[in-house]
Structure 1
Amino acid sequence: MFVWRDLARRADEAEWMDTEVVSEAEFACCLADLETVNWLTLAARPTLRFLARLTANWPEGSELRLVDAGSGQGGMLRHIHAWATRRGLVPRLTGVDLNPHAAEAAKAATPSDMAIDWVTADIFDIGSAFAPHVITSALFAHHLDDEAVVRFLVWMEATASHGWFVNDLHRHGFAYYGFAALAGVMRWHPLVRHDGPLSIARAFTRADWVRLLAAAGISDAKVSWHLPFRLCVERVRP
């Protein structure tokens, strides 16, 4: 049974994943279900296409230093590592997540031949220590309130030398109710079934991004929609 929700504005309820204390094993189970969701929704495709555009003129053998904010179980960075290797780049990838269980889950899911660093920290605390060419995030921004989103945009603009990419959700009724139905059919973890629709309710419309970018003082970022119901923001430095 679905409960009607007003999606005119971003929801401000906290997701269980951000507030509930769960065991490492249960958290890993939730992240595994989220990886399935990302696979079904082709989540990596917009990010990889952005990186292909960004590095189009980079010669083979170039180093790609990239930081992923809110890296979770690390699926996005594994996709990026595989893509960069095929492209002939040398990936130097770092995943940053505030939850200490995330790093352990990411290490367990990552093949030993993928040299990816997993850091447990607040993304705002790492400064420019990693000197990244690129900063990416996937399904991270909607966990932040508007003030923190603006801070995140300003931080990426100041920290990434070549560009950044936000891969997140489009707040839309079809996505909201559709995910709730799919999660029930798939019998995903209760935390995922609760947080998935709420993530969409906390997500963005194009008008939200225009407003937030203006608040961050960024005028030359591009907002684009991707199937299914992904709303992404990219910035490529000249």
Structure 2
Amino acid sequence: MDTHDVSEADFAACLRDLEAVNALTFAAPPTLGFLSRATAGWEPGRPLRVLDCGSGQGGMLRRIHRWATAKGFVPDLVGVDLNPRSRAAALAATPADMAIEWRTTDIFDVQADDGFDVIISALFAHHLDDADLPRFLRWMEATAARGWFINDLHRHWFAWGGFTLLSQAMRWHRFVRHDGPLSVRRAFVSADWRRLLAEAGIADATLRWHPLFRLCVSRLK
């Protein structure tokens, strides 16, 4: 969907359906669970600065904003995406009282002195190639003060077939019907992450499976 010449309206429609997919497949709970662990013992009123890589329409950061506000934290959230149409869609979907910053830039241009407590991504890592994945892990390790969390897919035949049937039944956007099964095929099994973490020189990350077919990697400092 990032390589097709489509209108902003068509692109936004695809992102809206992706948010529906994420809600139906329980995308947010693993990330919110990690943030709960990362902020354990924090006092109300403390700022929580989070960077979301490949933020798309921004649904995850809006969930985090509501979660952090309910916890009494002060959310300081930044979404980064290479596609400028993502920023436009995120701005349109975000209530005015949610002060979330949307950037159009390369994630590797973000530095540790930007002061992020936590770096997250959701369904982003499988878009990177084998050369960039260890680089991504090392960059998160160097840039996040408190820790990082990768929320991605488990490569499995049932996930591939189930999503193919579901996306057709729900009549989701044509890009979702095409890219969803492809994303599952590009996704990971545990052995992939163990190899990539070893290449990145990270020995103490945690690997967990979550419903529905989410394989998540995290590091809490």
Q: Distance in 2 between matches of 1:150 and 1:24?
A: 33
May I ask how many residue pairs the two structures share in their alignment?
A: 221
Deviations 1:72-117 (A, max 9, x none): 0000000000000001111100000000000110011111111100
Q: Distance in 2 between matches of 1:81 and 1:55?
A: 14
Q: Distance in 1 between matches of 2:132 and 2:151?
A: 16
What secondary structure, in the 3-state scheme, does the structure 1 residue paired with 2:75 have? strand
Deviations 1:157-185 (A, max 9, x none): 00001100000000000000110000111
What secondary structure, in the 3-state scheme, does the structure 2 residue paired with 1:57 have? coil
Query: Counterpart in 2 of 1:216?
Result: 200
Structure 2 letter corresponding to 1:183: S
One of 81, 97, 106 as aligned partner of 1:122: 106
Query: Counterpart in 1 of 2:16?
Result: 32
What secondary structure, in the 3-state scheme, does the structure 2 residue paired with 1:19 have? coil
Query: Counterpart in 2 of 1:185?
Result: 169
Structure 1 letter corresponding to 2:57: Q
- The reply to whether residue 133 of structure 1 matches residue 121 of structure 2 is no
Q: Distance in 2 between matches of 1:167 and 1:20?
A: 25
Query: Counterpart in 2 of 1:163?
Result: 147
What secondary structure, in the 3-state scheme, does the structure 2 residue paired with 1:145 have? coil
One of 110, 129, 132 as aligned partner of 2:94: 110
Query: Counterpart in 2 of 1:11?
Result: none
Query: Counterpart in 1 of 2:68?
Result: 84
- The reply to whether residue 23 of structure 1 matches residue 27 of structure 2 is no
Of all paired residues, the percent bearing the same amino acid is 65
Q: Distance in 2 between matches of 1:223 and 1:72?
A: 24
Deviations 1:174-204 (A, max 9, x none): 0001100001111111111000000010110
Q: Distance in 1 between matches of 2:7 and 2:198?
A: 40
1:66 Cα offset (Å): 0.7
- The reply to whether residue 96 of structure 1 matches residue 109 of structure 2 is no
Q: Distance in 2 between matches of 1:209 and 1:20?
A: 30
1:23 Cα offset (Å): 1.6
The gaps in structure 2 that reach 5 residues or longer are none
RMSD: 0.8
- The reply to whether residue 174 of structure 1 matches residue 158 of structure 2 is yes
What secondary structure, in the 3-state scheme, does the structure 1 residue paired with 2:79 have? strand
Structure 2 letter corresponding to 1:201: R
Q: Distance in 2 between matches of 1:130 and 1:36?
A: 32
1:126 Cα offset (Å): 2.1
- The reply to whether residue 233 of structure 1 matches residue 214 of structure 2 is no
Quick check: 126-135 or 146-155, which moved more?
Answer: 126-135
Query: Counterpart in 2 of 1:7?
Result: none
Normalised to the residue count of structure 1, the TM-score between the two structures is 0.91
1:146 Cα offset (Å): 1.3
Q: Distance in 2 between matches of 1:182 and 1:121?
A: 33
Query: Counterpart in 2 of 1:60?
Result: 44
Q: Distance in 1 between matches of 2:200 and 2:207?
A: 15
| Residues 187-206 of structure 1 aligned to structure 2 (within 5 Å) | 187-206=171-190
The gaps in structure 1 that reach 5 residues or longer are 1-16
